Every structure is written in structure tokens, then in C-alpha cells.
Amino acid sequence: MPSRAADEHVQISVVVPVYNEQEIIGETYLRLSNVMESAHYTYELLFVNDGSRDRTGSHLHEICVNDQHVKVINFSRNFGHQIAITAGMEHAVGDAVVVIDGDLQDPPELIPVMVEKWQQGYQVVYAKRLQRQGETLFKKWTAAIFYRVLRRLTDVEIPVDTGDFRLIDRKVCDALTIMEEKHRFIRGMVSWSGFRQTAVEYVRDSRQAGETKYSMKKMLTLSLDAITSFSHVPIKLAGYLGVVSFFAGLVYLVMVIVLDHTLSSVDFLTFIAFILGGWILACMGVLGEYVGRIYDEVKDRPLYLVASREGFVTTEVNHD
Ligand code: UDP
Ligand code: MG
């Protein structure tokens, strides 16, 4: 392995989370390294291999052996996209950190534009999608609805139509890594952190190879994490529903007494029992979401476990 100078100053760290991207990882590396070389930055490419089951790990090993800019963090299993990004940020040493998907949907060529904005004094430069190409209507619609619902529900101004493709300053990176929450919605956390933020616009390409690694389940979890991390509206909604159903019950009672209803009481009671039961269960579900998250925070497990690291100056990274 080529030796790495421990004291080399790194301007830009590029964090790339990857999960089963064997078809494209080589190409991603080439495009990234071309951009970084031609812009003459001092840089590191930090690939976080999020427990891939295909040959992504061995491809990354090859790449790392041949290029001293490359570092690889191999997770012991799949911990998820947001956790992989977090690990990358924790290991990054650059003055600025760029987070980019490993499937080339986010064009690496945009990085110099982001860096320029950063040099003008912005501490967060996020990439805003003008269009999404080659994605199913379902994905586009669910994403559009998700960002708009999120905006209505949350107190934090989270820009619509942005993903995790962004540049953050060292200060922001440090702020994010000391936030210890387990259910991480990084876009929201970046917005929450404040600092000077700006956008650059781009057209999101289609995936160059392979399929989306965001299953329906992962998308749902991400949306729930986003909403529960940044909004108390759902838990309040449970309360409102309770009040409404209570008064509805009272009105019903009064109406039956006043109008002397002819409808069979058994039918009606069954109907009411269903409605109330449904409401109570819905409210309990919302409570459950929050309580479950409190439980996760209290457990205080590490966010991820590293199986191995490659390309770092010291092989042991002290995490305490
Ligand atoms: N990814 C990851 N862990 C996961 C799922 C995805 O590291 O559990 C990576 C994936 O390899 C890609 C990025 O996160 O580099 C975005 O995922 P994907 O392209 O599948 O999401 P989409 O673009 O379809 O929303
Ligand atoms: Mg993608």
C-alpha cells in the first residue's frame, strides 16, 4: 500500500456511501478522481461500504491499494445510508466535506461549483434537483409529497427537492458529528444547524447501473425518522383526535336523547366502538413511534460497527 503522509493537509473530503454498487463503483471512482485532480484540490475520497454483499468491497480494496487519496470504511453489516454518511463525516479530515451518492445520480462535476460557493463564505452548499431523470413516476410523486408534507409539519426550514448531495464546512461537520441522535435525518440536521446556506441547482441523472438500494421499507423509515425527529405535530394530532372524538361522543349522546333515534342501539354501538377503537389505536401507534425512538436513544448503542479500515494513516481510529 502506498505510504500516506500523516500531516498532509486535506482541503476537501468526499464521502461516498455505497451499498451493493459493484457495477458502478469503478466508474464512480474514476469520475470523482478526475474532477478532484483537475481542480487541483488536496483531497481524500472516503468510501463507506455499508455492508455490501456483492463485490463492492473487493473493488474498493483494489482502488484503495492503487490510489493514496482513497480511504475505505467497511461496515460489519448494512446500517443504512444516513449512518454510512455519518461514519464518513466522523472519519473525514478535510476543511470541507462533500457527501455524494455512489451511483452517479449526483454529478461529481458539480463539486467545483460547490467549492467555489464555499470559498465565497457559505458553510453549507446543497444541491437542489431541478429534474429527476430516469426515475419512476412513483418515486417522483412519493418524493414530491414527502418533501411538501415534511415542510408543513416541521419547525425547521428543510429545503424541498434536495437530497444528501451537499458540501458542508468543517464547522458544520463537527456540529453534526457531536449530535448523538440515532435516527438521523441528515438533511434536517444540517438545516437545523443553521450557518450560512446556499443552493446550486442541477438535473439529477438516472442511475448509471444497478437498481435503487432504497427499498420501500427504507424509504418509509427515512420519512418517519424525518418527521418524528423534526416535528411534534403527529403526537399533538393524537391529542386533538382524542378531544374531537370525546366531543363527538357527547354530541351523539345529546342527539340520541333529544331526537330519540330509531336506529338499533346495538348497530350503532358497534359502529361507534369501531370508530373509537380505530382512533385509539391510531393514537397509540403515533405514541409508539415516539416511545420507540426514545427507547433507541436510551439504549445508547454505537451507531455502527466497523469491520475494517483501509488506507488510513493509523489503522486504529480511536472512537472514545
Ligand atoms: N446506500 C447505502 N446504504 C443503504 C442504501 C443505500 O449506503 O442501505 C447508498 C447507495 O449505494 C447509494 C446512495 O446510498 O450510493 C443512495 O442510494 P440509492 O441510489 O439506492 O437511493 P435513490 O437514489 O434511489 O434514492
Ligand atoms: Mg440513487
Question: From first to last of its 320 residues, what are the pLDDT tens digits of the chain?
Answer: 444 555 679 999 999 999 999 999 999 999 999 999 999 899 999 999 999 999 999 999 999 999 999 999 999 999 999 999 999 999 999 999 999 999 998 999 999 999 999 999 999 999 998 876 667 788 788 888 888 888 888 777 888 788 899 999 999 999 999 888 888 889 888 988 888 999 998 888 777 778 888 888 888 888 888 888 877 777 777 777 777 777 777 777 777 777 766 666 766 787 787 778 777 877 887 887 888 788 778 777 778 888 889 888 865 545 54
| Atom nearest to 18 CA in ligand 1 | 11
pTM score, whole prediction = 0.80
**137-145, long-range: CB within 8 Å, 24+ apart, which pairs?**
139/212, 142/219
Whether ligand 1 lies within 6 angstroms of the CB of 117 is answered as: no
Whether ligand 1 lies within 6 angstroms of the CB of 101 is answered as: yes
pLDDT of residue 4: 53
Whether ligand 1 lies within 6 angstroms of the CB of 19 is answered as: yes
Whether ligand 1 lies within 6 angstroms of the CB of 204 is answered as: no
Q: What are 163's three cell numbers?
A: 437530497
Whether ligand 1 lies within 6 angstroms of the CB of 51 is answered as: no
pLDDT of residue 279: 79
For the CA of 18, the nearest ligand: 1
| Atom nearest to 211 CA in ligand 1 | 20
306-310: strand order across its sheet:
197-204, 124-132, 162-169, 96-99, 12-18, 43-49, 70-75, 306-310
**Using CA atoms, how far apart are residues 227 and 234, in angstroms rounded to an integer?**
8
| Atom nearest to 214 CA in ligand 1 | 20
| Position 108, amino acid | P
CATH homologous superfamily of domain 11-213+302-319?
Answer: Spore Coat Polysaccharide Biosynthesis Protein SpsA; Chain A (3.90.550.10)
pLDDT of residue 282: 79
Whether ligand 1 lies within 6 angstroms of the CB of 102 is answered as: yes
Q: In 3D, which of 26, 23, 27, 71 has the Cα closest to residue 49?
A: 71
Burial class (CB in 10 A: 0-12, 13-18, 19+), 198: middle
End-to-end C-alpha distance for the chain, whole angstroms: 27
| Atom nearest to 135 CA in ligand 1 | 24
Whether ligand 1 lies within 6 angstroms of the CB of 310 is answered as: no
pLDDT of residue 111: 96
ipTM exceeding cut-off 0.90 for this assembly: yes
pLDDT of residue 1: 41
